Amino acid sequence: MFKGWFISLIVMGNLTALFLVAYYAERRERKGKSLVANPYVYSLSLAVYCTSWTFYGSVGEAATSGLSFLPVYLGPTLMSCLWGVLLIKIIVIAKRHRITTISDFLSSRYGNSLFISILVTLVSLIGITPYLGLQMKAILNAFTILAGESRGITATGWVITLVLGVFAVIFGARRLDSSERHGGLVLAIAFESLVKLVAFLGVGIFVTYGLFDGFGEIFSRIQASDQGHLMTIGEGSTVSYLEWSSLLFLSMMAVLFLPRQFQMAVVENADPSHVYKAMWLFPLYLLLMNIFVLPIAFGGILLGRHQAEADTFVLTIPLTQGSPALALLVLIGGFSAASGMIIVESLALSTMVMNSLVMPAIFRFRQIRGFPALILNIKRFIIIGCVFLGYFFAVFIGRFYTLVQIGLKSFEAVTIFAPAFILGLYWKKGNKKGAIAGILAGFGVWTYTLLLPALIRAHVLPDEWGAQSLMQNVFLSPRALFGLEGLDKWSHSLFWGLLFNVVAYIGVSLATAKRGEEERQALLFVEAYDPALVSPKSLYSIEQIEAILEQYIGRQEASDVIGRFMARHGIERGAISRDDLIRLRDEAKRILSGALGSSMAAILFEDKSILTEKERDELSSSVKMMTDTLRLSRHELSEANRNLAYLKAFSENIIESAPFGIVAVDAHLHVTYWNREMETLTVIPKAAAIGRPVQPLIPWIPEETWTLGKQQERTVESPALQHIKINISPFKDPSGGLVAIFENITQKKIMEKQLLQTSKLASLGKLTAGISHEIGNPLASISSLVQELQSLELRSDQDVAFTQESLNNINGHLARISKIVRSLGDFARLSSSEKVPTDIPGLVEQTVNLLKYDKRSRKVEFVTRMGKIPQLRVNPDQIQQVFLNLMLNAVDAMPEGGRLEVSIEDKDRWIDIRFRDTGSGIDESLIDRIFDPFFSTKPMGKGTGLGLSICYGIIKEHNGSISVRSSKGNGTSFEIRLPKEEASHG
């Protein structure tokens, strides 16, 4: 143990060294020899992220919850991969607009809203104060452990708090300009980052290789103990995968939105290019800082130390294992980790409070004498006040929570800014009202789910307020809001907070309009890399000036203007000076003034950011419309005519070469166009057709085909017995007229007939076995009866009666055979393409009777339900082919028997025909493919895969539809819909 005065002397010596480092850095910076304008110091300064939480709390978390400490450092590592895109853009915007805090950043993005600035500041104060208290708690705990007593700790805490506040004032608030970089502070923080790294690596090496025989021994022993679950995550451990994911996301947001991180990463950045070095140096630092966390945590457990004291293992292990000097080094490292965070965080918070709360209140007194000094002194008092605010939290509330629990509450608090901040960088439609709604919604959830339980546990809220009953409420419990149970408290708060935040931000932004100022600021932030926004209006490049001229006076003229200017002033294009660029801009402005007027020319060369995006679009459209009319010179008109002539010739060549006949007629049905294919089709030359009425030229086409304004399609037969498909479309031109496309589909029809016949023969083959059996039975009966009659001698009336009965039976069997043969003949004949009025129910009955001859159908029950249906104009052979294919497929699906129901219904404009079976059904994954050609659900060699494809084509040709519903083991239902406009009532 050490004396209290000795510990205080060590700490004061550390602060003195820190002061000297900062002072030396500022002296060098004033001489123009900066020590901090390099990526290595910048990367080390970002390690202010590693606070006493990292130094002490990570070990405590690892000793009690195992690997749950890792996401807090994996998150920043993942986020650093995005810095090249995200962080650099933030830095560019902040430097351009002299932004110094997150509150200013969000305020500026949303129309310089003071309300957003105040809201973000208040959320930060409430959310970060516990984090400041965490650091003070760690410092006071370290003093108590090393001194061996708590006597005088209160006075020590007051002194340390005051000294840290003064340090922050000296190196962070000596001048009014908050956007000025604090070189001394940056180097001091970088120095502290090295100190805490060396101290932590020292105690890690001592435990791992001094007290144990390396990582292997520690991990193997802990794995073999009853604490083996600490080396796992998910099932069997205290940390779920969901909690891991939540902590990972929280830490990714924290490394961007914690005020101290914004201060060091953005405000104190000397060169955006330093970010690229930090993208790998900062993760490397985090790796080194955490490499010994598990050995120290597990080593403390193996040494018999209680897990409840795990936050202090880093101090107590060297102190109790005979290494007091190392314990002092750990004290310095832990103090560096805590003090660095306190200094930078209090500086960042004080700037937010000053800009958002104090300045708006005292700005009216700006005329009084000594106003700048007043502002500076107020800021200094605010810095010290922020530090003491953290101290009070540590004393009165911090004792109820571990370091990690306190830190994660602050992580969740700053995550509230993420939607408005990140979406605001890339989404122009986000507005002030949406940002306010999102932040308020997120803060409300954070307060209710995390801050309220903390205040209840600390007895800040008395039971009379119903605090305990609220915690036990099924629907309103902060631990299970709206009845959502099973989540850890971090995931629970993050889920509801982020959900309400994002929904409110996007929803309100889409539902409300932006003001002009909001729209301009959105443009500046989202299009931060746009050259027209980055450059001053007088510094347009040659390319930009030439592009503007080209848009309004033409490419050649713009090039001539630039060339004449260069020749007149004797300058090279690649070596033009700033003054020459200004003169060139003025020259271009004068030229546009002559064409568009001086006011329009001035607007075109004005800074892009003074207009909203909508105003710029409208202005550009208006000016473009005017200039498109004005700048058509005689040369350009001639060029346009040549292009039009070429386009016309090109189009006519395509039409002439088309394999279709094309005819165009005017409103009087006189031919205006007749292509080469029409000459072949009708043997009428083009010259003889142009200008003549179309009907006499093609008399074999029905007259109603040429109805003006009506689009239609029909198939006719030419005098040469060719099948011609005609597609008629009206012209959209007000003058009217029609265009007709003639397609010779004779070969297609022949192929369809052949395919249909092939399908019929395939179906016929399926019926052969059953029909042969059906014919064989009556033939056998006839043969038997004839033999009986041949041997019979008519001797009595009984013999005459037997003879008569036998002849009747023979006649019945012959009639049955005749019916079978006639049905087969009707079905097998080559069908025509003619559509005739057809009785659909009769066609179904005929098909069912034909199918009953098949021996496979004997176990199948056929049921027909048919009402009064009008005749339809269809091709009966083709439709019967469809019915037969569907019925045969149904029979094949019921080898052990079943029921096939065919129903026909009259529904408005359609006739519905359904085939339902109780067979094996079709797998749902195959239903979308059953109408594809050559696809079959039957085994190889049992089906061609053409039947349903042919059915589909026939129904489509009849302007109908066919669909299927089925599931494996539950039968199949095919539904055919045929239009009633095909009905024939004659």
* Rounded mean pLDDT, 750-775: 61
Going by C-alpha positions, the residue among 902, 888, 899 that lies closest to residue 946 is 888
Whole-angstrom CA distances from 377 to 121, 350, 373, 380, 529 are 20, 12, 6, 5, 38
* The predicted structure's pLDDT at residue 608: 46
Distance linking the first and last C-alpha atoms of the chain: 116
More confident residue, 543 or 405: 543
More confident residue, 610 or 883: 883
Tokens of 492: 């629970």
Q: Is the predicted pLDDT of residue 259 greater than 50, yes or no? A: yes
Question: What is the CB neighbour count within 10 angstroms for residue 180?
Answer: 13
pLDDT above 90: percentage of residues in the chain = 8
**Cα dihedral sign for 270, 276, 281, 282?**
positive
User: Where on the phi/psi map is residue 686: left (φ > 0), alpha (ψ -120 to 50), or beta?
Assistant: alpha
Tens digit of each residue's pLDDT (9 = 90 or more) over 638-657: 666 677 666 666 666 777 77
- DSSP strand E in 143-200: where? none
Most confidently modeled of 356-360, 433-437, 488-492, 844-848?
Answer: 433-437
* β-sheet bridge partners, residue 670: 693
Q: Is the predicted pLDDT of residue 174 greater than 70, yes or no? A: no
Structural element, H or E, at residue 873: strand 871-874
3-state SS record for 311-331: HHHHHHHHHHCCCHHHHHHHH
Q: Is the predicted pLDDT of residue 600 greater than 60, yes or no? A: no
145: CB partners within 8 A, 6+ apart: 312, 315, 316, 319
Structural element, H or E, at residue 860: strand 860-866
* The predicted structure's pLDDT at residue 175: 54
Going by C-alpha positions, the residue among 207, 211, 195, 159 that lies closest to residue 328 is 195
- CA–CA distance, 89 with 597 (Å, rounded to integer): 38
pTM: 0.56
Q: What is the mean pLDDT of the chain?
A: 77
Q: Residue 739, SS3?
A: strand
Tens digit of each residue's pLDDT (9 = 90 or more) over 573-592: 777 776 777 778 777 766 76
Cβ atoms 419, 80 nearer than 8 A: no
Of 172-176, 224-228, 260-264, 831-835, the range with the lowest mean pLDDT is 172-176
Question: What is the CB neighbour count within 10 angstroms for residue 932?
Answer: 12
Banded model confidence at residue 877, pLDDT cuts 50, 70, 90: confident
Whole-angstrom CA distances from 13 to 6, 19, 152, 184 are 10, 10, 20, 18
Tens digit of each residue's pLDDT (9 = 90 or more) over 488-504: 777 888 888 899 999 99
More confident residue, 982 or 6: 6
596: CB partners within 8 A, 6+ apart: 552, 604, 623, 626, 627, 630
Cβ atoms 178, 355 nearer than 8 A: yes
* Rounded mean pLDDT, 280-297: 91
- CA–CA distance, 303 with 539 (Å, rounded to integer): 70
Q: Is the predicted pLDDT of residue 598 greater than 50, yes or no? A: no
* The predicted structure's pLDDT at residue 597: 46
* Per-residue burial over 295-326, b = 16 or more CB atoms within 10 Å of its CB, e = otherwise: bbbbbbbbeebeeeebbbbbbbbbbebebeeb
More confident residue, 308 or 883: 883
Most confidently modeled of 145-149, 153-157, 373-377, 435-439?
Answer: 435-439
Tokens of 882: 């469809």
- CA–CA distance, 28 with 35 (Å, rounded to integer): 7
Looking from the CA of 471 toward its CB, the CA atoms found within 13 Å total: 13
* The predicted structure's pLDDT at residue 913: 92
Cβ atoms 517, 112 nearer than 8 A: yes
Tens digit of each residue's pLDDT (9 = 90 or more) over 652-691: 677 777 778 889 888 888 898 888 888 888 888 888 888 8
* The predicted structure's pLDDT at residue 535: 46
Q: Is the predicted pLDDT of residue 843 greater than 90, yes or no? A: no
Q: Is the predicted pLDDT of residue 982 greater than 60, yes or no? A: no
Most confidently modeled of 71-85, 926-940, 948-962?
Answer: 71-85
- CA–CA distance, 723 with 674 (Å, rounded to integer): 20
**Cα dihedral sign for 977, 979, 985, 986?**
negative
* The predicted structure's pLDDT at residue 823: 53
Helix 102-109 vs helix 114-147: angle between axes, to the nearest 10 degrees?
A: 160
More confident residue, 698 or 486: 698
Cβ atoms 968, 923 nearer than 8 A: yes
* Rounded mean pLDDT, 409-420: 87
* The predicted structure's pLDDT at residue 607: 46
Q: Is the predicted pLDDT of residue 914 greater than 80, yes or no? A: yes
- CA–CA distance, 670 with 668 (Å, rounded to integer): 6
Q: Residue 716, SS3?
A: strand
* The predicted structure's pLDDT at residue 744: 83
Most confidently modeled of 25-34, 431-440, 861-870, 966-975?
Answer: 431-440
Q: Is the predicted pLDDT of residue 285 greater than 90, yes or no? A: yes
Helix 293-302 vs helix 183-205: angle between axes, to the nearest 10 degrees?
A: 40
- CA–CA distance, 191 with 21 (Å, rounded to integer): 8
More confident residue, 92 or 756: 92
Whole-angstrom CA distances from 598 to 127, 361, 590, 593 are 55, 44, 8, 4
Cβ atoms 827, 880 nearer than 8 A: yes
* The predicted structure's pLDDT at residue 388: 79
* The predicted structure's pLDDT at residue 502: 92
Chain centroid offset of residue 829 CA: 60
- CA–CA distance, 38 with 42 (Å, rounded to integer): 6
Of 168-177, 405-414, 654-663, the range with the lowest mean pLDDT is 168-177
Cβ atoms 316, 60 nearer than 8 A: no
Of 265-279, 508-522, 928-942, the range with the lowest mean pLDDT is 928-942
- CA–CA distance, 135 with 51 (Å, rounded to integer): 7
More confident residue, 221 or 463: 221
Q: Where are the alpha helices (DSSP H) in 792-920?
A: 797-828, 840-852, 876-892
* β-sheet bridge partners, residue 965: 973
Q: What are phi and psi of 861, to 5 degrees?
A: -90, 120
Question: What is the CB neighbour count within 10 angstroms for residue 373?
Answer: 10
* The predicted structure's pLDDT at residue 797: 65
Q: What DSSP character marks residue 976? A: E
* Rounded mean pLDDT, 395-400: 61
* The predicted structure's pLDDT at residue 236: 61
More confident residue, 606 or 959: 959
* Rounded mean pLDDT, 695-700: 85
More confident residue, 502 or 387: 502
pLDDT above 70: percentage of residues in the chain = 72
* Per-residue burial over 391-400, b = 16 or more CB atoms within 10 Å of its CB, e = otherwise: bebbbebbee
- CA–CA distance, 645 with 651 (Å, rounded to integer): 10
Q: Is the predicted pLDDT of residue 281 greater than 90, yes or no? A: yes
Structural element, H or E, at residue 525: helix 516-526
DSSP assignment of 318-383, as one string? Answer: HHHTT-HHHHHHHHHHHHHHHHHHHHHHHHHHHHHHIIIIIHHHHGGGTTSTTHHHHHHHHHHHHH
Tens digit of each residue's pLDDT (9 = 90 or more) over 531-541: 545 444 445 77
* The predicted structure's pLDDT at residue 437: 92
* Rounded mean pLDDT, 471-500: 76
Cβ atoms 982, 872 nearer than 8 A: yes
Of 381-390, 445-454, 519-528, 587-596, the range with the lowest mean pLDDT is 587-596
More confident residue, 217 or 456: 217
